[in-house]
Amino acid sequence: MRVIGLAGWSGSGKTTLVTSVIPVLIGRGLKIATVKHAHHDFDTDRPGKDSWLHRRAGASEVAIVSSRRWAIVHELDRDPEPSLVEVLAKLSPVDLVIVEGFKRHAHPKLEVFRAAVGKPLLHPDDDCIVAVASDAPLPQATVPVLMLDDFAGIADMLQAEAMPREQIGQTAELA
């Protein structure tokens, strides 16, 4: 299992990019998983549904299982948010994991950049960023730049730069 991330400011198009590049990677015969970091509270089901009622009643974990999918919701209560390494360890085996968010974590990342967002580039201050995907040329970039609509090129880069899961979080390995 290899891991690569997408980092960028809110509104830069990370989710749009990941949903466009996943079909390219699957077309190459890869099995893909994603990890999405949320900076807010979220629910995986709707209020009033049985699993929601189980959690509301105090269950610390609720498994939802059907013939089409399954999920486990783990309530943290006062426990700290799990690290990316802990989350990766819980995933089923796949060829490539694409992490959206966790932009300050030590793992290889593709920066998603749009000047219209009005935020600075991340890569000058993050040596884990291996390339930038942008909607315009970036002559000031110190890493390779790909155009946001070059899904095949981005898929190539994600595959080439992904790191084995066992090395994630070991900053000495990134140097």
Q: What is the DSSP letter of 146?
A: E
Average pLDDT over residues 149-158: 98
CATH number of the domain encompassing residue 117: 3.40.50.300
The closest of 162, 81, 159 to 128, measured between CA atoms, is 162
Angle of helix 14-27 relative to helix 151-161, nearest 10 degrees, comes to 80
Give the pLDDT confidence of 33-45 residue by residue, as tens digits: 999 887 666 667 7
Question: SS3 for 51-107, per residue?
Answer: HHHHHHHCCCEEEEECCCCEEEEECCCCCCCCCHHHHHHHCCCCCEEEEECCCCCCC
**Domain carrying residue 106:** 2-41+81-174
In a domain, 92, yes or no: yes
Residue 66 or residue 166, greater confidence: 166
Enter the pTM of the model. Answer: 0.88
Mean pLDDT of the chain: 89
What pLDDT does 51 receive? 83
In a domain, 66, yes or no: no
In a domain, 73, yes or no: no
Give the pLDDT confidence of 58-80 residue by residue, as tens digits: 888 888 888 888 888 888 888 88
Burial of 80 (0-12, 13-18, 19+ CB in 10 A): exposed
Average pLDDT over residues 107-136: 95
What pLDDT does 61 receive? 83
Q: What's the CA angle centered on 125, arms 119 and 130, to 5 degrees?
A: 95
Give the separation between CA 140 and CA 122, rounded to whole angstroms: 12
Number of domains into which the chain is organized: 1
Average pLDDT over residues 75-87: 86
In a domain, 52, yes or no: no
What pLDDT does 172 receive? 42
Q: What is the DSSP letter of 135?
A: S
By residue count, the chain amounts to 175
In a domain, 138, yes or no: yes
